[in-house]
Amino acid sequence: MSQAQFTADWIVEYLESQPIHDELLSHSSADAEHWSLLLGRLNSLSREDISGWSNEIKVLLQNSGIGISHNESNWHLDPIPLMLDEVEWQQIERGIQQRLELLNRVKLDLYGEQTLLENGVIRANALRKHASFMRECFAPNRPQTDLFLASIDLYRAPDGVFRVLAERCQCPVGIGALLENRMVVRRVMSDAFFECEVQRIADFFQQMQTVLEKPVSQQPDQTIVILTPGVEDTNYSEHAFLASYLGYPLVRSADLTVRKGIVWLKTLDGLRKVDIIFNWLDEQSIDSLEQAKFSLNGIPGLLHAERTGAVRIVNPLGSGVLESAPVQLAMDNIAQELLGESLILPSQASYLCVEYDVTRLSESQLEQIELYSLTDQTLCLDGVKDRTEIFTRVAENTRDYYYKYKPMLSTAPYWQDGELKSLPIFMRCFALYTPEGVQVLPGALCFAQTKKRGSNWLKDTWIRSVAADKPTSRPLSLQARLTDHALLDGLIPSHTAENLYWLGRYLERGENTVRILRLLIDRYTELSIFPDDNINKVFDNIINDIFSQQLLFPYCLQACGEEQADEKPSEPAEIRAFIASLFFDTSNNGSLLSILNAFFFSAMQVREFLSDDSWQVIDAVKREIKRVETISQGTSMRALQTTLDRCLSYWMAFTGSVADCMANSNGWFMFEMGRRLERSNHLIAVMKSLMIEEYPEVEQHIVLESVLASQVSLITHKRRYRMYQNPASVIELLILDADYPRSLLYQLLQLENLCQHLPRRQRAGILAAQDKAILKSKTTLHLLDHDSLADVSKGKRQQLATLLDDINSNLLMFSEVLSLNYFSHTKQAKSLNWSAT
């Protein structure tokens, strides 16, 4: 490619660097139109423009949540795609189609007639010892399920030939990331995408959904779920994105149960039969009843249900054996045996130690090899670093080992630190097995091989066509069934409903905590500027109630004892340290950091239900967690106030985005129910802490102002009652006003309305237990007046205290009934050791 074509200094610098074995310079002809079109479009852009693209891509990925997971990973999507022309891609496509057809036939044979083992094409002894060979799936006398989805990792060798690095038939991870990356890159580089006439990938996903839903056309009420290991899995964000994109419920093992050979999903409405499972669990531990490998993710009885045809699992169980060394080493011979032809995409060259003695290799050859085991898929030994262990192992059991020469990967330009750098790459391609044949996704996820561990540098792959693909309409078979899909609307697993409920509680708890901490800091700074005995007494009461956890979670409604009171902070330095600890001390479940972590974890659990706007807030919360972790006892009050202001804006923004985008059928009522219950608990705690005791007039005014400020009701009270603040008016506003959104009665009325969305378990006309708890509290408040609640006897408002205790007990009963009747309560699985001890 001629340098004279380009004027952009960052392009010229890369061309002048002349990297060896590079996709742009070494494997593209001088008139490579696909690269020329891209670079010609980018030639007018400066370094700042490309860096701007890179930053925009990073922000979009963060906002979508695809790069956010419980286990942090460094996710970098490069703005410069890998370009392949149509002719070259057609060769790759034919090779992938051939290999997937071959793999499917191998799978059917290994769990059926096993002719490949009998004829010695595949080493039978090594295969049967391999952990991925599932004897539970051996069924020669019944029809087997074809493969569904597979991924193939390719690299270009120095001779220009693409070779297979690895194949994944059990869990082909990366397809969700590829789809999300394409959406982001297309948005940022729309002009370049159009000019390069890039093939579309949307048709592949429509076809995938069609194949997945094929049985649904016969029985439209069948249920399809995506089974994920959970938020702890590094690919959880991808699973959640696929669930959201395809419109299927995302479930964990605890959401499923097998009864009488049928797989059921635990939902708010009760049990619902599951017909198809899109599985992302390790198949070696998917059934804790039959399989030796124990896992908490195991679903007892699932293998039996799959064998009897009660449920269809894709990819079919047992597919992992196709990734094993005994199968991969024999692929060339298998192609000749089953297809009578050579592989279009050859495998990476491998050598059995029983045929090629590794101990006779020279020092320079040992530097280029890695040793693997036929039966232990985790073993990988370096020819130089592990030379002694290699020789020892091979001497003990020559037949169990083989070695490969380290692949010489081609390089491609990546944008790093304001310039193009060449990094070694390999491509992950995806293919779908359909009744009409193998369909290959026209694109790939390109990985860079970096020295930095845990760093994921990705690149989109653009396949150029002579004419850009025209958008295709949704297949008629799917259009005809759109009404049937409405049957799935509102299908909420009970575990998901519980997470939505706790997401609402943590959100409200976070807001309440921020407001109490803001009140505490305001009173502290006010006292330091204007020393006053009355303010000091009120501040002392507030900090005492916070120390005894009456004003903050867990809302202890009893004052602390004398021994605990002696430990509370009293000196200015102690008070400052205590206030700071309320931000960062994770040993305190009521601290700001603890609540932020709990909120983030709950949000991750319901990733598929949240909009992109909501995920912008989640990403901001994640960054805030890192900032709060840096807070120390020496942090200034101004900095703490700034932290509180930011957190409050997150809570408000998230509440608005959820209320605006989430439907009741998707669980909004569970989220809102959690919020209303938590707000009620907090309001009761504040009133019980500060409104029961009678204070002198000046102190009383400061206390009432503090109570109103903590409930964002100071302005409302002043507009309604002018300047006449008294306990009766505050009680009327915050307890008895049915129309005020911050009052206790308003929360109870909202809870009563939200309960109408819960599935009814009683006959019509019979109140459920949760309805009775709310009705009892609501009726009590309707029958009381503010003057009687404000009456003081022996220095206390006894009637108010009794009322708050009664309502608190009713709300506790409400929470327990809700949890018992509607949330999942599967006991944690335990491994049974039948061996003698």
Tell me the per-residue pLDDT of 748-759, one tens digit each, with 9 for 90 and over.
999 999 999 888
pLDDT band at 353 (very low <50, low <70, confident <90, very high): very high
Structural domains of the chain, with CATH: 1-208+408-470 (no CATH), 223-274+276-310 (3.40.50.11290), 493-674 (no CATH), 691-822 (no CATH)
What Rg value do the Cα atoms of the chain yield, rounded?
32
Q: Which residue has the higher pLDDT, 697 or 765?
A: 697
CA 500 to chain centre: 14
CA 604 to chain centre: 5
What are the structure tokens assigned to 510, written together?
């976070």
State in Å, rounded, how far the first CA of the chain is from the last one: 71
What are the structure tokens assigned to 48, written together?
């700042």
**For the residues 422-449, what does the mean pLDDT come to?**
95
pLDDT, one tens digit per residue, over 779-804 is: 999 999 999 999 999 999 999 999 99
The Cα 20–Cα 39 span in angstroms is 19
pLDDT, position 744:
98
- Given the DSSP bridges, would you call strands 270-273 and 149-156 parallel, antiparallel or unpaired? unpaired
Q: What percent of the chain has pLDDT over 70?
A: 90
User: Does a cis peptide bond (omega within 30 degrees of 0) precede residue 413?
Assistant: no
The Cα 563–Cα 541 span in angstroms is 17
Q: Which residue has the higher pLDDT, 572 or 431?
A: 431
pLDDT, position 2:
59
Question: Contact, 604 vs 597, CB < 8 A?
Answer: no
Q: What is the DSSP letter of 136?
A: G
pLDDT, position 529:
85
pLDDT, position 659:
87
- Asked whether residue 294 carries a pLDDT value surpassing 80, the answer given is no
What are the structure tokens assigned to 82, written together?
């890998």
pLDDT, position 25:
87
Question: Contact, 398 vs 125, CB < 8 A?
Answer: no
pLDDT, position 65:
63
- Asked whether residue 276 carries a pLDDT value surpassing 70, the answer given is yes
pLDDT, position 556:
80
pLDDT band at 452 (very low <50, low <70, confident <90, very high): low
Handedness of CA 12, 16, 17, 18 (dihedral sign): positive
pLDDT band at 301 (very low <50, low <70, confident <90, very high): very high
**For the residues 730-753, what does the mean pLDDT come to?**
97
- Asked whether residue 217 carries a pLDDT value surpassing 70, the answer given is no
The Cα 750–Cα 508 span in angstroms is 15
- Asked whether residue 323 carries a pLDDT value surpassing 70, the answer given is yes
Q: What is the DSSP letter of 321?
A: G
- Asked whether residue 731 carries a pLDDT value surpassing 70, the answer given is yes
Q: How far is CA 618 from CA 66, 90, 606, 741, 745, in A?
A: 12, 42, 12, 25, 31
Least confident of 250-264, 441-455, 625-639, 698-712: 441-455
In the block, which residue shows the tokens 């192609």? Answer: 335
pLDDT, position 707:
96
pLDDT band at 834 (very low <50, low <70, confident <90, very high): very low
Q: Hey, how many other C-beta atoms are within 10 angstroms of the C-beta on 598?
A: 18
In the block, which residue shows the tokens 């944008």? Answer: 415
Q: Hey, what amino acid is at 120?
A: G
pLDDT, position 468:
46
What are the structure tokens assigned to 131, written together?
């952990």
Q: What is the DSSP letter of 281?
A: S
pLDDT, position 836:
37
pLDDT, position 528:
84
pLDDT, position 831:
57
pLDDT, position 485:
44
pTM of the entire predicted model: 0.89
DSSP-assigned states of every residue in 137-172 = G--TTS--PPP-EEEEEEEE-TTS-EEEEEEESS--
Taking alpha carbons only, the member of 203, 213, 242 closest to residue 441 is: 203
